[in-house]
Amino acid sequence: MDIVSTIITLLLAGLMLYLLVRLPLAIIGNLRAGHRFRQGLAAALQELRLARMLKYLGIDSDAYLHKEQALEIKKHMQRCDNCDAQSTCDQVLEKAAPADVDSLGFCANIDDLKEMREPR
C-alpha cells in the first residue's frame, strides 16, 4: 500500500469515527429540544380554556399533545385565545355534566376536537 492510500484510509476512518460519535449526540440533542418544546406547549395549553375543553370532552391532554402535530396544536390554541365566545365557553365548562357535543358549536375548535374525542 502506498502512502497516499494509507493517508486516505486514515482520513476516512477518522471521519467515520467522528460520525459514530457525533450522530448519536445530535440525535439526543434533538430529542431533548423536542421534549422542551412539547413541555412549553403543555404549559401554554394549560393557560387556555382549550385545556378545560379537552378535559370536558374526555380528551387526555397528554395524548392530545402526543398525537397532534405542533402546528395543529398552535392553531387550536390561537383560535381559542382569539375566540369571541369566551364567556359562553366559561359557562359551559363550569357545568359538571358534559353537554351534547353538538351544542358546543360556539367553539372554534369543536370540529377538530370531535374527531379526536374518544367514543363513550
Q: What backbone phi and psi angles, to 5 degrees, belong to 106? A: -70, -20
Q: Name the pTM for this structure.
A: 0.71
Residue with cell 406547549: 41
User: 65 and 73 in contact (C-beta within 8 Å)?
Assistant: yes
Give the Cα-Cα-Cα angle 112, 35, 59 (nearest 5 degrees). Answer: 30
- Taking only the tens place, the pLDDT of each residue in 79-97 is 998 989 888 888 888 876 6
Where would I find the H helices in 1-120? 3-46, 49-56, 61-67, 70-81, 86-94, 110-116
pLDDT band with cut points at 50, 70 and 90 for residue 119:
low
* Predicted confidence (pLDDT) at residue 12 exceeds the cutoff of 90: yes
Burial of residue 11 (number of CB atoms within 10 Å: 0-12, 13-18, 19+): exposed
In the three-class reduction of DSSP (H, G, I as helix; E, B as strand; rest coil), residue 98 is classed as coil
